[in-house]
Amino acid sequence: MILLASKSPQRTQLLKQAGLRHITITTIDDDMENSSQPAQILAVERARAKARGADWQAQEHYFAQSHAAVVAADTIVHLAGRVFGSPQNADEAERMLADLSGTRHSILTAHCCWLPAINGEPEKEAVAVSVAQVTMLPMSMEDIQAYVASGESIGRAGGYAVQLQGDRFVADIQGDRDTVIGLHVASVQRIYREVTGHTPEESAS
C-alpha cells in the first residue's frame, strides 16, 4: 500500500491512472524556503522532509498487513542557476512566468519512499530524481496576467500546469510528462520495491 504524503490532486490522479492502490495522508507544508542548495539536492531534501513529516501514525494499521510505505515527492523548476518553487500569490506567479517565458528550463521531481521504524524493524528509505526539459513559448504580459487570473498558477512549480491550460504555452517536453506534472510513476514503483521488497499493489478493478 502506498501512503501518498501529498495534498496534490495531480499526484493522486497519476497513481490512479497507473492503477496503483494508495491512500493520501497529510504532511508538512509545501512552501519553499530560500536556499542556496543545488536544485537536485534541494528537491530530494524537500521530498524526504515531506515523507518523514507525514501523518502516517493515523494509518499505522496498514503497516502490519499491506507492505505499506510512505511516498512523497517534490517538484521544482531550474533555470540558469535559479530555483523556482510554487508561487504563493498572483504577483509572484506573474514574475515567475515572465522569467520562464521563451526559455528552455529543467523540471526536477524528487521522490522519497520511507518506511518508519515500526514492528521491530529498522527504518528504510530510498530516493529517486526524474528530470525533464521544457521549452516554453514566449508569453506576452497580457497572456501571463490572463493565465494567472485563472487561478491555475498558485501551488504549481514554476507557476504553470501542463496538464491544464498551461499546456498551450509549452512548445516541447523532453522527458516524461509525468515528471513535469509532479510524480514519475516508474520512479515511485522502483523505490517502493527497494524499500518494501514488493511490487506496489494494483487497485481493485
Residue 91 a catalytic site member: no
Please provide the DSSP assignment of 63-90 as one string.
HHHS--EEEEEEEEEEETTEEE---SSH
| 67-104: burial string, b at 16+ Cβ within 10 Å, e else | bbbbbbbbbbbbbeeebbbbbeeeebbbebbebbbeee
CB-CB neighbours of 60 under 10 Å: 12
Helix axes 141-149, 90-100, angle to 10 degrees: 140
From the candidates 29, 55, 74, 178, which is the catalytic residue?
Answer: 74
CA–CA separation, 94 vs 158, rounded Å? 10
Phi, psi of 109 (to 5 degrees): -115, 115
Query: To which H or E segment does residue 162 belong?
Result: none
Determine contact, residues 139/168, Cβ cutoff 8 Å: no
Please provide the DSSP assignment of 101-116 as one string.
TT-EEEEEEEEEEEE-
Residues classed as catalytic: 74
